[in-house]
Amino acid sequence: METAMKEQKQIKRREYLLSGNMWKVVISIALPMVFYNLCNYLYGIYDMMVVQSANIGDAADIVVLDQIKNMISTIGSALATGGGILVARRYGEKKTDEARKCANTLFSMALLVALVTLVFIPVGEPFLKLFKTDPSIIENSLGYYNVQIVTLVITTMNSTMISLEKAKGDTVHLLCLNLVVIVLKVGLTTLFVYGPFENVTNTWLAVSTLIAQLFLFFAGMFLCFRRKNILRIRIKELNFRRAEVINIIKLAVPVFVGNFLFSFGKVYVNAVATERYGKMCVGALGISNTIAGLLANINNSFADSGSVIVSQNYGNKNGERIKKLFKVNFIYVTAACAVGTVLLFMLKEPIAQFFAPGDLLYQEMIVAIFTWECLDLVFIGFGGVSNALFNGFGKTNITMIFSMLRLFAYRIPVLLFLMYVVEMDYTACGIAMFVSNFLSGAIEIVFATIFNGRMKKKYPGLFENKG
């Protein structure tokens, strides 16, 4: 009886996504995800603060290795995105059994990818050298890298759990779990660095992240396997059904390519900047990205939530709600990015002083790079709004193309031109980021607006449901 009542509650939640007030629906799904993403964002900020204040390494080491780790993590996150789109579509179509079977296939694939990720530990040193990582970073922080790879195994499964919860529109659990995760992460990091331990290195920071993510992992597995879960994962139902695997891969591969190229672009810029301007420039660039990440994480939350709502309403053949979602998401994201941009621009000097106390040259470098990056934050938001629409329709190949253009057409050529033709100083890194994000966001929102306007003509079947 209790299980049946719990399933009815989840079904009622689905009906809310399919027919509730869109302004409230978007906020109710997005806000818990905003908090979840901000928790991960705060990890990076706190680690960089600790590294600087406790003098246990260089912030540039954390920046470089985290971005390489993020590049590897795109495999698991793309799988979660692609599988989540299919699960949400079938769930919105009210084919619960098919949605559950797809969820079990996704879980099986994620488990395989998570285990394969461990291969990056034995090949760690040559892998880092492949991306022209500074030798001092490899020497000082290889332990940090190894622990982060182990953490990736855990976060791959966590991403899958999160994707399945989002597919149902149930993100409140994520909010509650991450309150505990952030307390664990900050508490352990503080204990390790400022407690009664000797010879503390940045590896300890990675260990605190691993422990915090392990808590989320065990809690997430409980949510996935519990009897009350309408998309329950069962050991006996884990499978690699060919049709489902192919469908998930078709959606996941373009997401992987797009996300990988985005992360690779950051790694490439770090390598070129280190060679041209020195390690300090990479640290300044990383701090600039971290500051901008405040708004980027909010934007990503609305993009992820939007794609879930689009997918469910696509399955329910409710095109009018998809069109409205695009407008609502655009207004929310644009407003948040515009207000955030003004605030961050006004606070850029105090923020630089906070991250680089007493180092005027470092502060100047951070401000110069961030001033340019700050100008493109609204356009990054435009890209997120567009991705929500395209991904929700399963058109992940379109978002992949935009990611490729951002890197190969707008970012790298501009950066190399400013470095070696104009012979500009480190400001070239900020300008290259600005140009690529500005052009990519502006062009993508134009295409998305046209797609949204022509939806009724191209997809008449989506407008069959007038409810």
Checking if the pLDDT of 339 tops 50, the result is yes
In this prediction, residues 102-111 reach a mean pLDDT of 93
Cα–Cα distance between 208 and 151 in angstroms, integer? 10
- Give yes or no for a contact between 346 and 123, defined as CB atoms under 8 angstroms apart: no
CA angle 130, 255, 325 (to 5 degrees): 145
- Give yes or no for a contact between 399 and 387, defined as CB atoms under 8 angstroms apart: yes
Q: What percent of the chain has pLDDT over 70?
A: 95
How much is the pLDDT for 59?
A: 67
pLDDT band at 12 (very low <50, low <70, confident <90, very high): confident
pLDDT 10s digits, 304-325: 788 888 888 888 888 899 999 9
In this prediction, residues 7-31 reach a mean pLDDT of 79
End-to-end Cα distance, the chain: 30
Checking if the pLDDT of 2 tops 60, the result is no
CB-based contacts of 107: which residues, under 8 Å, 6+ apart?
Answer: 160, 164, 224, 233, 238
Q: What percent of the chain has pLDDT over 90?
A: 21
Cα–Cα distance between 349 and 121 in angstroms, integer? 39
Please give the backbone phi and psi of residue 42, each rounded to the nearest 5 degrees, phi first. Answer: -65, -30
How much is the pLDDT for 4?
A: 54
Cα–Cα distance between 421 and 71 in angstroms, integer? 29
Cα–Cα distance between 432 and 428 in angstroms, integer? 6
pLDDT band at 326 (very low <50, low <70, confident <90, very high): very high
How much is the pLDDT for 327?
A: 93
In this prediction, residues 36-46 reach a mean pLDDT of 72
pLDDT 10s digits, 264-304: 777 777 778 878 888 788 778 877 877 887 787 788 788 87
* 121: Cα within 13 Å, side-chain hemisphere: 15
For the chain, the average pLDDT equals 85
Q: What are the angstrom distances between the C-alpha of 219 and each of 55, 85, 214?
A: 34, 23, 9
In this prediction, residues 163-170 reach a mean pLDDT of 82
How much is the pLDDT for 466?
A: 52
How much is the pLDDT for 67?
A: 76
pTM confidence score: 0.81
Checking if the pLDDT of 438 tops 90, the result is yes
Cα–Cα distance between 313 and 91 in angstroms, integer? 10
Residue whose entry in the numeric block shows the structure tokens 């390494």: 57
Residue 353 class from Cβ within 10 Å (0-12 exposed, 13-18 middle, 19+ buried)?
Answer: middle
pLDDT 10s digits, 190-213: 898 888 877 878 888 889 989 999
In this prediction, residues 157-166 reach a mean pLDDT of 88
The domains of the chain are located at 20-463
- Give yes or no for a contact between 437 and 376, defined as CB atoms under 8 angstroms apart: yes
- Give yes or no for a contact between 171 and 33, defined as CB atoms under 8 angstroms apart: yes
pLDDT band at 255 (very low <50, low <70, confident <90, very high): confident
Checking if the pLDDT of 437 tops 50, the result is yes
pLDDT band at 389 (very low <50, low <70, confident <90, very high): very high
How much is the pLDDT for 92?
A: 86
How much is the pLDDT for 1?
A: 46
Cα–Cα distance between 434 and 411 in angstroms, integer? 9
CB-based contacts of 41: which residues, under 8 Å, 6+ apart?
Answer: 290, 293, 294, 297
Q: Which two tokens stand for residue 9?
A: 């509650």
Selected residue with higher pLDDT from 242 and 63: 242
Checking if the pLDDT of 223 tops 60, the result is yes
Instruction: Kindly report the three-state secondary structure assignment for every residue of 75-126.
Output: HHHHHHHHHHHHHHHHHHCCCHHHHHHHHHHHHHHHHHHHHHHHHHCCCHHH
Selected residue with higher pLDDT from 264 and 2: 264
pLDDT band at 5 (very low <50, low <70, confident <90, very high): low
pLDDT 10s digits, 347-384: 888 888 877 777 788 888 889 988 998 888 899 889 98
